[in-house]
Amino acid sequence: MNKVILFITVNVCLIFASCNPKKVEKEAEGKYTVTSPWLTDTSFTKEYIAEIQSVQNVEIRAKVKGFIASVAVDEGQFVKANQVLFTIRPREYEVELLKAKAKAKTAELEMQNVKLLAEKNIVSQNELALSVSKLNEAKSEVAMAELYVSYTKVVAPFDGIIDRIKFKTGSLVDEGALLTSISNNQHVYAYFNVSELEYLDYKNRSKNDGKNTVSLLLANNQLHKYKGVIETIESEFDKNTGSIAFRAKFPNPESLLKHGETGKVQLKMDLKNVLIIPQKATFEVQDKMYVFVVDQNNVVKTKGITIKQKLSNIYIIESGLTPNDKILLEGIQSVKDDDKIQTVFLPSSQALIFSNKQ
């Protein structure tokens, strides 16, 4: 579930200082408190469950079969690119290299002899070409043997932190065996899913104001000290969930965030000139939302409304009300359509504060 936190961008503190709930209750005795929708600018923060991944996270696997001769690092250790992590016993591969070099030397001598004979027209040029080909094949075997010898030293592909080490010194590993993994956590990615409606709203807002910064709430309910930036959005919606994945990038110079961690991305959304009303002024019938509107003769009428966004104690109205409407705030359970009531009007700004204190 997405959790919503409200930040109303108006100065309500001064208003609240002059607003006394007990006084309102006293004035409203025998009357019904009414208010009007508030046309204002507001902002709120939506939270999305996020999966954190390292910018670089790769598996370190053995490229040759053999016994591990040494493990040069420990789990959780920071290593530099090309630093030796493991050594697989190289003796067998060094022997194969010596054999390949001996074969190449023999092929070179044979080629030199055939070359001399070819210069004297004793042998054909085809025989010379064949000896050159054999020499090149022997040299390729040397190169391959040297490569296998180099594979006996397993090195870090980039700067990063070592994960759990699967094998210890003396273990026999096969070619392709997973030795460990390494993560570059200087920056991390946070992946989170956004609904189609929220995606369209985000694209419209970012086109107008260019804001794409986000915050990250950690599992201990503490905010990550560095802001992130939404970098990319996937190309397709998930047909099963109707959502699309966003990717935000966060600095992580202290390596606090780890690959596989979870958190909540907080995305602030600004809304301009929206109508807001207290939630307590509404009631629900068969999954539809209503309010009681009081006309100029103080007669109560039911009116359906459409909710754009639900916040902590208020609703942002999509349709159904205007700033000039008067809606019943108190006593909703005590009235019905066409009742004529006595009212006391509470300004919308005070009504919101009063509702929050209930």
pTM score over 0.75: no
Q: Whats the size of the chain, residue-wise?
A: 358
212-229 residues labelled b (16+ CB within 10 A) or e (exposed): eebbbbeeeeeebeeebe
Q: Which two tokens stand for residue 113?
A: 């002899």
Question: Does residue 323 sit in helix, strand or coil?
Answer: coil
DSSP-derived secondary structure for 170-190? T-EE-TT-EEEEEEEEEEEEE
Q: Which two tokens stand for residue 16?
A: 């609240």
Mean pLDDT calculated for residue range 7-16: 37
- Identify the weakest region by mean pLDDT among 131-145, 205-219, 276-290: 205-219
pLDDT in tens, 183-241: 999 999 999 999 998 898 888 777 666 568 999 999 999 999 999 999 999 999 999 99
User: Could you give the residue ranges of the DSSP H alpha helices within the chain?
Assistant: 13-17, 21-27, 91-119, 125-151, 196-209, 348-356
CA distance 146 to 343: 93
Asked if pLDDT for residue 6 goes beyond 50, the answer is no
CA distance 267 to 246: 11
- As a whole-number percent, the residues of the chain with pLDDT over 70 amount to 88
Q: Please say which residue of 156, 182, 208 terminates a domain.
A: 182
- Identify the weakest region by mean pLDDT among 154-163, 178-187, 328-337: 328-337
Q: Please say which residue of 128, 149, 182 terminates a domain.
A: 182
Mean pLDDT calculated for residue range 169-185: 96
One domain for residues 169 and 70: yes
Nearest CA to 126 out of 138, 114, 139, 109 is that of 114
One domain for residues 266 and 277: no
One domain for residues 191 and 286: no
Structural domain boundaries, residue 262: 48-56+183-271
- CATH value at residue 76: 2.40.50.100
Q: Please say which residue of 140, 155, 182 terminates a domain.
A: 182
CA distance 358 to 355: 5
Judging by DSSP bridges, how do beta strands 84-88 and 66-71 pair with one another? antiparallel
CA distance 171 to 173: 6
Kindly report the backbone phi and psi dihedral angles of residue 113, in degrees, each rounded to the nearest multiple of 5, phi listed first.
-65, -45
Q: Which two tokens stand for residue 148?
A: 């296998």
Residue 357 has, within 13 A of its CA and on its CB side, a CA count of 12
In the prediction, which pLDDT does 181 show? 96
C-alpha distances (whole Å) from 311 to each of 3, 5, 67, 290 are 9, 7, 61, 17
One domain for residues 81 and 173: yes
CA distance 124 to 136: 19
CA distance 103 to 95: 13
- CATH value at residue 336: 2.40.420.20
Kindly report the backbone phi and psi dihedral angles of residue 199, in degrees, each rounded to the nearest multiple of 5, phi listed first.
-60, -45
One domain for residues 91 and 161: yes
In the prediction, which pLDDT does 40 show? 87
One domain for residues 145 and 66: yes
One domain for residues 169 and 188: no
Q: How confident is the model at residue 122 (pLDDT cuts 50, 70, 90)?
A: confident
CA distance 341 to 331: 11
pLDDT in tens, 61-95: 999 999 999 999 999 999 999 999 999 999 999 99
One domain for residues 129 and 266: no
Total domains, the chain: 3
One domain for residues 199 and 249: yes
DSSP-derived secondary structure for 146-162? HHHHHHTEEE-SSSEEE
Contact of 304 with 288, CB cutoff 8 Å: yes
One domain for residues 99 and 248: no
- CATH value at residue 239: 2.40.30.170
One domain for residues 332 and 245: no
One domain for residues 277 and 343: yes
In the prediction, which pLDDT does 193 show? 95
Could you tell me which residue, 12 or 41, shows the higher pLDDT? 41
